[in-house]
Amino acid sequence: MYDLIIIGAGPAGMSAAHEAKNAGLNYLVIEKGLIGNTIYNYPVGLTVFSTPNELEFTDGDLQPAREKPTREELLSYYVRFALDNDLNIQTEEEVLECQVRGQGGSPTFTVATTITEYHTRTVLFAIGAMDHPRRLSVPGEDLPRVHFQFRETYPWVRKRALIVGGGNSAGEAALFLAEEGADTTLAIFRSDWENNDPKQGCIKYWVKKPLEREVERNCLKLFFLGNVIEIRDSEVELETESGERVTFPSDVVFVLIGSDADLTTLTDLGVETTIGKHGTVPIYDPETYQTNVAGIYIAGHFTNERHIKGAIDAPKKIIPHIAEALAKSNSAR
């Protein structure tokens, strides 16, 4: 019987594992992909938006070659943190189901995975959202040439690439493709392109400025979008902001319109949800991150604090609360 099972080995999960180990808890981290899997799925060679102090577990630990780390530098740092601290992480093992056992103030939980079944007194969900990208819900979206993540440019050099989206991921993909010689079109709502307010989720200025340069050099085309109508084998039908329908020939389509966390396992446990800053989130105590189901905690993309810094800091509140609750439960037996 574990004291704590942590689902997800991203920044939140690794921070929780480190805190749990220091607190003397019997814990296990289960990750269906790799350590830092969300970071692993970033585009190859990407410079991360954040500075080291917003990404590291301990001040001064992350030492990138430049002001901001690359994807590769950050991945290496997170993997090294897990190895140096000998964190108990099982990778490439997917959680299929979590069930509550027992009633009253001290329930236990069964966590079933693709490999085995575990029993634990508490569970912390620290899962990212990259595996659940938002979709357009239009005909042709399931064609093999349509992608919901952007990894690298080289397969698309001198190809016709259409990117649909208005955030940083779409902006970066359009920039990288245009810079590397793809015939690139960014289909974006005018309001997203003209938005310069960070509080309203604008494209970061260090992405927007070079995008504007690529437009001026005629290396990137902008299409101010009304709607995506249909994706076909070699073309996409779009609607302009004025309602006119236009057909774009394209070899590849990237739909980069955000992603959401999958709340199914939590709601199956009886966790209640609400509408938060970024969509539907579980209802949780902002001090302890415990949900309405005793023993079930959340961190990272499941909360309103989705930045990596918030994900790393949250377990510093969560784990002491879990340790105290378990100690009280032990003394009451």
DSSP 247-313: EEE-SEEEE-S-B----HHHHHTT--EEEETTEEEE-B-TTT-BBSSTTEEE-GGGSS--SHHHHHH
Give the Cβ contact number of residue 245 at 10 Å. 12
Q: Is residue 137 part of a domain?
A: no
Q: Is residue 136 part of a domain?
A: no
Q: State residue 229's pLDDT score.
A: 97
Quick one: 250 and 264 in the same domain? no
Quick one: 245 and 196 in the same domain? yes
| Least confidently predicted of 84-88, 173-177, 277-281 | 277-281
- For residues 261 and 281, give the distance between their C-alpha atoms in angstroms, rounded to a whole number: 8
Its pTM stands at 0.86
Is the model's pLDDT at 331 over the cut of 80?
no
Quick one: 123 and 263 in the same domain? yes
DSSP 152-165: -SGGGTTSEEEEE-
Which element (helix H / strand E) includes 237?
strand 235-240
| Least confidently predicted of 82-91, 131-140, 285-294, 324-333 | 324-333
pLDDT band at 128 (very low <50, low <70, confident <90, very high): confident
Q: State residue 304's pLDDT score.
A: 78
The burial class, CB within 10 Å (0-12 / 13-18 / 19+), for 270 is exposed
Quick one: 61 and 120 in the same domain? yes
Quick one: 153 and 124 in the same domain? no
pLDDT band at 280 (very low <50, low <70, confident <90, very high): confident
Q: Is residue 123 part of a domain?
A: yes
Q: State residue 104's pLDDT score.
A: 60
Q: State residue 306's pLDDT score.
A: 73
Q: Is residue 138 part of a domain?
A: no
Residue that finishes a domain, picked among 255, 275, 310: 255
Q: Is residue 235 part of a domain?
A: yes
Quick one: 37 and 95 in the same domain? yes
Q: State residue 206's pLDDT score.
A: 83
Quick one: 23 and 9 in the same domain? yes
Q: What pLDDT, in 10s, does the model give residues 185-225?
A: 999 999 999 988 876 777 888 889 999 999 999 999 999 99
Given a contact cutoff of 8 angstroms between Cβ atoms, the answer to whether 32 and 92 are in contact is yes
Task: Give the number of domains in the chain.
Answer: 2
Q: What pLDDT, in 10s, does the model give residues 27-57?
A: 999 999 999 999 998 888 888 878 899 999 9
Report the Cα 82 to chain-centroid distance in Å: 19
What residues contact 151, with CB distance under 8 A and at least 6 apart? 41, 43, 44
- CATH value at residue 29: 3.50.50.60
Quick one: 266 and 127 in the same domain? yes
Domain of residue 278: give its range: 2-131+259-332
Given a contact cutoff of 8 angstroms between Cβ atoms, the answer to whether 75 and 183 are in contact is no
Is the model's pLDDT at 147 over the cut of 90?
yes
Phi-psi region of 169 (alpha: psi -120 to 50; beta: other; left: phi over 0): alpha
Q: Is residue 6 part of a domain?
A: yes
Residue that finishes a domain, picked among 197, 220, 255: 255
